[in-house]
Amino acid sequence: MDSVFHQEPFRGDYYTRRFEPGPDDSTLILNMGPQHPSTHGVLRVVVELEGEYILRAEPVLGYLHRMHEKMGETRSYLQYMPNMGRVDYLHPLAWNHAYVCAVEKLGNIEVPRRAEFIRVITSELNRISSHLLWWGAYLLDLGAFTPIMYAFEERERIQDLLQEPTGSRLTYSFFRPGGVAADLSPEFLQGVREFIPYMRSRLPMYKDLVTDNIILRYRCEEVGELPLDMARRYGASGPVLRASGMAYDVRRAEPYSVYPELEFATPVSQRTDAMGRYKVRLAEIEESLKILEQAVEMIPEGEILVKGAPKPRWKAPAGEVYQAVEGARGKIGVHILSAGSAQPYRIKLRAPGFSNLSLFAELAKGTLLSDAVSILGSLDLVIPEIDR
């Protein structure tokens, strides 16, 4: 019994030992997470504080690792499809899109034109739903409860629409190499036409209720200022990069599907702070509505899956491909290495959130702890995507 009480005092794990206070014990080591509500999942951030100011911060991953890339080596190309709905559960159709485009590039598979429009319509609806959830959850982090109720009201409408063709409301596995799994009904298209003006009518209310609110402005303006050179150094993409002044959008820079035929802008902000990232995402909702407006009118009749599309035991030609698409959080990349068998030899997934989170340690240095919550939320992190 005595030996138990005479053990060395607990010194913490590797990460907390790296942050041991100095000789005068003037600093405090604090764990944010992995259950802290502002970390949006099982993310742990170890911070060293002097008073209310952050001296150092280090994100700690590994609490949610699910081996998605390793699973790709043991599943056929079609069996791996459901994994794409579970990497980023807020914009899974973008991951669907990246993966099928990579497989199609590998197998030189043509995609029917109607299927391409179906992919764009469903993916843009999913992008709006992702931005809505971010909007509501970010404001919840900052202490405002009401906005998330409005966000989920709009999001439910989108999920009701997407449930019809996909059969799901969250982890979609709808796209297929060579097309999509189901066609869009006239009722679905009419539902999208009705949703567009409805969603547009809500955006002014968001502005009056939240964007112009002085409390939000104090929490976001001049907080987490991210210079463009720093964003590029860490490989940031999506709204995080565009809010630092660079108009980079994969849909324009590396065109895919039918996006080159559609008119839409790339929202950019020169603010570089959390408010800039906030405004870019709200502006992107309007641009997605423009894409939907055009796509539902331009969608042609025709097949939704190419004849001779890959079957469950389809063997891909030997080779190596990479495909990028624009997700709600930034540049999604799928790299496939094939040895000519029914399973990929190797799959590597490029998650935009990983690069966006990596800059947090430098960005949070010298800020107030309360501002770190605002900065972290403004990056729109989905931890299952980062810790894939």
| Domains of the chain, first to last | 68-386 (1.10.645.10)
Q: Which residues pair with 350 in a beta bridge?
A: 333
SS (H, E, C) 152-195: HHHHHHHHHHHHHHHCCCCCCCCEECCEECCCCCHHHHHHHHHH
From first to last of its 388 residues, what are the pLDDT tens digits of the chain? 343 333 344 344 555 555 555 555 688 898 887 877 777 778 889 999 999 999 999 998 888 888 999 999 999 999 999 999 999 999 999 999 999 999 999 999 999 999 999 999 999 999 999 999 999 999 998 989 999 999 999 999 999 999 999 999 999 999 999 999 999 999 999 999 999 999 999 999 999 999 999 999 999 999 999 999 999 999 999 999 999 999 999 999 999 999 999 999 999 999 999 999 999 999 999 999 999 999 999 999 999 999 989 998 999 999 999 999 999 999 999 999 999 999 999 999 999 999 999 999 999 999 999 899 999 999 999 988 888 8
Instruction: Write down the pLDDT at residue 378.
Output: 93
Instruction: Write down the pLDDT at residue 13.
Output: 57
Instruction: Write down the pLDDT at residue 387.
Output: 85
- Residue 29 neighbours by CB distance under 10 Å: 17
* CB-based burial label for 235 (10 Å; 0-12, 13-18, 19+): middle
Distances (CA, A) of 41 to 15, 180, 200, 240, 330: 19, 31, 30, 20, 19
